Amino acid sequence: MSDLLSIYIHIPFCRTRCGYCDFNTYAGYEHLMEAYADAVVQEISIISNKLKYDGIVHTIYFGGGTPSLLLPQQFEKIINCIRENFQCKTVMEISTEANPTCLTGEYLKSLAEVGINRLSLGMQSAIDSDLRILGRKHTFNDVIDSVESARKAGFSNINLDLIFGIPLQTLRSFEDSMSEATGLMPEHLSLYALSLEDSTPLAIQIAKGEFPEPDEDLAADMYLLAMEKLDNSGYSQYEISNWARSDNAQCLHNLQYWRNLEYLGFGAGAHSHYKHKRWENTRTITGFGNLIAENQSNDYISPAATNLIPLSDKDEMSETMMMGMRLTEEGISAWAFGERFGIELETIYAKEIDKLQKRELVEWIVKNGQRRLRLTKKGRLLGNQVFLEFIRD
């Protein structure tokens, strides 16, 4: 295992809840943010004292929700607590997600001053009608203004999120969104197919016939178009849903997940993976705060944890394959797999690899002197079918 650790901070606050969102978020609770930040700081201290971790933290990621609702001093309090309780790299990747409606030049400058150096903006689309269907409150002009303000504040690492497969979205309108996004010259782009959970407002609207059902074939065509267009625009695909203008712009925090390495999550609903265990914190804001305040001893790592899952070697191998296969260029190193698990990749997954090779979904390459198994371009379209092959009872 790597001796580098990543830290995730979940900020569950939103001003309004988007129509497609099924994340652990809550609207109308901003009055609890200061107490919540204090509870996160307390959880960090509790866990660091329990773990006595002697490795190095190299990334911090604020996700949500809408982390950009936090005040700069609340970000600073949490970041300083991490630095006080863990050994940190001198230069870290510190990312925050942000809503284009929440940002001013002064606010962004303050974020840069407290150490945040990577900004991920929820653009989603350049077409305002798409944004209305998704229940987003910003416009594309807000995105333009936010990117311009972020550049003036000193941000040189910006990601834009885009969604495809939106009801009524066409191949042409999606192409226009990509063109507008690349025209802003972000260092990184994340593209996600719209995923609908039954309980979300947009899913209910579709069930009532207010919007058409998502077209999976059209979404696949949009994904193929993205691979072609973004490559021609100077972006390299390094993960199924992610493109970067250079290797240095790849998201180090997310690479930690995709390489199935260790991370600690703090806050309501946050997940962790550490020392062959996974756990999840209680999801509600007040429930999380109460459990941290009580700080009762339990069998979990955090007083707020509600579910602890021990991981066998078989579990770890399966997860390493499913996550690593998402890395479209890097794939999975046969040497690194053998070093980590003490067994050859081709020995334990011989049947699965042979089957997927015959279907032209995976391929062996040599990169940086190592044999690596990765998805083919056809495999990127059928990734879920590939991942299922590595799930064992």
Greater confidence (392 vs 68) lies with 68
230-283 per-position pLDDT tens digit: 999 999 999 999 999 999 999 999 999 999 999 999 999 999 999 999 999 999
* Rounded average pLDDT over 154-172: 97
- Answer yes or no: is pLDDT of 389 > 60: yes
Using pLDDT thresholds of 50, 70 and 90, give the confidence band for residue 31: very high
Give mean pLDDT, residues 211-238.
Answer: 96
How many other C-beta atoms lie within 10 A of the C-beta of residue 176?
14
- Please tell me the predicted confidence (pLDDT) of residue 16: 82
Task: Write down the pLDDT at residue 2.
Answer: 61
Give the integer Cα–Cα distance in Å for 204 and 210.
9
Q: pLDDT band at residue 199, thresholds of 50, 70 and 90?
A: confident
* Interior angle at CA 147, CA 141 and CA 151, nearest 5: 145
Ordered domains of the chain (ranges, CATH): 4-257 (3.20.20.70), 313-388 (1.10.10.10)
Q: What is the mean pLDDT of residues 377-385?
A: 94
For residue 348, the SS3 value is helix
The CA–CA distances, whole Å, from 134 to 15, 102, 123, 215, 322 equal 15, 18, 11, 16, 29
Tokens 């070697």 -> residue = 313
* pLDDT at residue number 171: 97
CA dist 373 to 258, 291, 364, Å?
14, 44, 5
- What type of residue is 39? A
Please, what is the angle between helix 105-113 and helix 140-153, to 10°? Answer: 40
Q: Chain centroid to CA 352: how far?
A: 28
Rounded Cα gap, residues 205 and 182, in angstroms: 31
> Which tokens in the block code for residue 289?
């705060």
Mean pLDDT, all residues of the chain: 94
Residue 393's pLDDT band, with cuts at 50, 70 and 90, is low
pLDDT at 1 over 60: no
pTM value?
A: 0.96
Strand partners, 119: 96, 158
96, 138 Cβ separation under 8 angstroms: no
Q: What is the pLDDT of residue 298?
A: 76
- Stretch 293-309: mean pLDDT: 88
CA–CA distance from 94 to each of 42, 120, 258, 278 (Å)? Answer: 20, 11, 18, 23
**Predicted local confidence at residue 350, as pLDDT:** 95
Q: pLDDT of 133-158, one tens digit each?
A: 999 999 999 999 999 999 999 999 99
